[in-house]
Amino acid sequence: MKSISIYLTTLIITIMTTLSVNAKSIEKIYVFESDANGFNTKTVFYDDGKEVVAFDAQFTEVAAEQAISFLKTKTQNPIKYLVVTHPNPDKFNGIPAFKKIGAKVIMSKESLSNLETVHNYKKYYFVEMAKMFTNDSYPKLPTADITFEDNYEIKLANSGKIKLTELHKSGISTNQTIAFIETTNALIVGDLVHHNVHAWLEGPINNGTAIYNNANWIGVLKVIQSIYSKDLIVYGGRGESEMLSIAVAQQIKYLENAENITKQYLSSIGNDKSKVDYAQLQKEFEKEFPNYSLGYMIAYGAYGIVASLK
């Protein structure tokens, strides 16, 4: 009887271990990238084998629908939640498409409080200046279903867990939420990291003005370096995924160089900001980073870093 008991105990442990390994093996991360009309924004999907969590909603409902269609080519598991990593329109404008399929929208209270200011600023630009939308066609200000203060844990049907952390610090935006998925060794950081592509150097929108601060952005990246393991895979809002030890250090170096490039360019035109040629500034960045793509990020977004420099 004792040998049977030992056998049964061993069998149960083996089955439980096998089930645990199989559960982990079916976890997947899929990444959709929009075209330039959506600013090459990435939507990251975590599929735990039964349910999916999406991160960032794209710039328009059309782009969000494309992201959802992409996911359907990978899995038939439903999207249970959509997480907004920070209050920029390419992260929240596409929310209605996700709500239509039953996803609940999660964002920090700080992101929610900053949505309207950013929405109004961007709407004015795209409607009145760029003429890309009309008042009626521009995406409406969205809402959230779930908000949190500092941390929030998402628990999924197949035992998948995601820890959300609001950093309460400005970087590329007024604030930033990041997501840690331990079982897939993943850290999702939104636009804090643009790996091997040029960054959007506009800065946070505060009281109707873009207020870029290079030191703040670098400071947030250093916080991430201090908290998380170097071997995590970082998924940024644009660009390639890469190990934290490489991606974050490279992003810090890029931002340091970005400030120097911009200062040198301004010096070359007598520090007269009214004479800035953003197409030329883009070329200066491309010269310094010949292997980086998405140079148009500089032409359209670098006005923020230009304005920040004395």
Domain boundaries, the chain: 27-308
CA distances 285 to 32, 54, 300, 305, Å, are 26, 32, 13, 13
Closest CA to 60 of 43, 37, 29: 37
Among residues 18, 21, 82, 90, the alpha carbon closest in space to that of 46 is found at: 82
Q: What is the mean pLDDT of residues 258-274?
A: 97
* 16-39 pLDDT per residue, tens: 443 444 444 589 999 999 999 999
Residue 225, pLDDT above cutoff 90: yes
Please tell me the predicted confidence (pLDDT) of residue 15.
38
Q: What is the mean pLDDT of residues 286-292?
A: 98
Give domain 27-308's CATH number out of 3.40.30.10, 3.60.15.10, 3.40.50.1450, 3.30.1490.190.
3.60.15.10
The pLDDT value recorded for residue 26 is: 87
- Hey, what are 239's tokens? 């660009």
Whether the Cβ atoms of residue 256 and residue 299 lie closer than 8 Å to each other: no
The pLDDT value recorded for residue 310 is 85
Lowest-confidence pick of 24-28, 42-46, 55-59, 232-236? 24-28
Burial class (CB in 10 A: 0-12, 13-18, 19+), 205: buried
178 or 18: whose pLDDT is higher? 178
Q: By C-alpha distance, which of 216, 238, 229 is closest to 308?
A: 216
Say whether 17 sits in a helix, a strand or coil.
Answer: helix
Arithmetic mean of pLDDT, 182-208: 97
pLDDT (tens digit, 9 = 90+) per residue, 77-103? 999 999 999 999 999 999 999 999 999
What would the mean pLDDT of 282-291 be, rounded to a whole number? Answer: 98
